[in-house]
Amino acid sequence: MHSTLTLMAAGSLRRALIPLQAAFTAQTGIPVSLVFGPAGLLRERIENGERCSLFASANRQHPQTLCDTGRARGLHLFARNTLMLTVRNTPQTTGKTWLELLADTTLRLGTSTPQCDPSGDYTWQLFERIEQSHPGLGHALKQRAIPLVGGRDSLTLPNGVIASRWLIDEGHVDLFIGYAHYAAALANQAEIRCVTIPAPWNICCEYYLTLLDERDAAHSFCRFILGEEGQRCLRDAGFMSPGDEC
């Protein structure tokens, strides 16, 4: 009987990793426990001694830190993503571009939490790019943004919900900046719409995997994630492949 592996992974990977884990266990008989959360906070849990076989982060920084301190070995780029806006459908927002929506100070703008969650870090990078082409707007967005998820004291979301949709439905925000892979799951809904952030403003979000367990089973799971079937699960959930251009 195989002992259980533990994969700590960014919460944005949930819709990809649950079917991926099921396929891996069905093929190999190796059980895997999935632990989801903001990557920065997961890294802190690992540093504090929590057991983990593999760590899948929504950025390079957190797994790189574990490698630099000798807790982990190997960095593998396994997926890419971008950012998008999700907005409440109202007469006020209908027909507005992504930039017009962000510039509308009457809309409550929600984000994830910088430093704790890579989604928040990527969003702040977006604000910095906006500032370069629209002086004053990027700084104003940093001041106006409400980090509601991905932090130590964030709101508790019900299992299985998409943060942007739930926050809008519950009346916490009118507009949310999050990952673009959720677009397919949020399509064709009357209450909200997803708005693309075009290049060159959008941010290329890179997902990295690292090993903290030298057992053959952990290496097998890593190869599965990087291999054809694992990559198909990620694409089915809306992620881009490592070789795709953002």
Domain annotation for the chain: domains and CATH numbers = 5-79+206-237 (3.40.190.10), 81-201 (3.40.190.10)
CA angle in degrees (0–180, nearest 5) for 132-133-134: 100
| Tally of CB atoms within 10 A around 153 | 6
Measured CA angle at 123 (ends 122, 124), to 5 deg: 90
> How open is the CA angle 10-72-45, to the nearest 5 degrees?
50
Nearest to 53 by CA among 242, 210, 198: 210
Q: For residue 90, what pLDDT is reported? A: 93
Per-residue pLDDT tens, the chain, 246 aa: give them. Answer: 678 999 999 999 999 999 999 999 999 999 999 999 999 999 999 999 999 999 999 999 999 999 999 999 999 999 999 999 999 999 999 989 999 999 999 999 999 999 999 999 999 999 999 999 999 999 999 999 999 999 998 988 888 899 999 999 999 999 999 999 999 999 988 899 999 999 999 999 999 999 999 999 999 999 999 999 999 999 999 999 999 988
Specify the pairing of strand 109-112 against strand 175-179. parallel
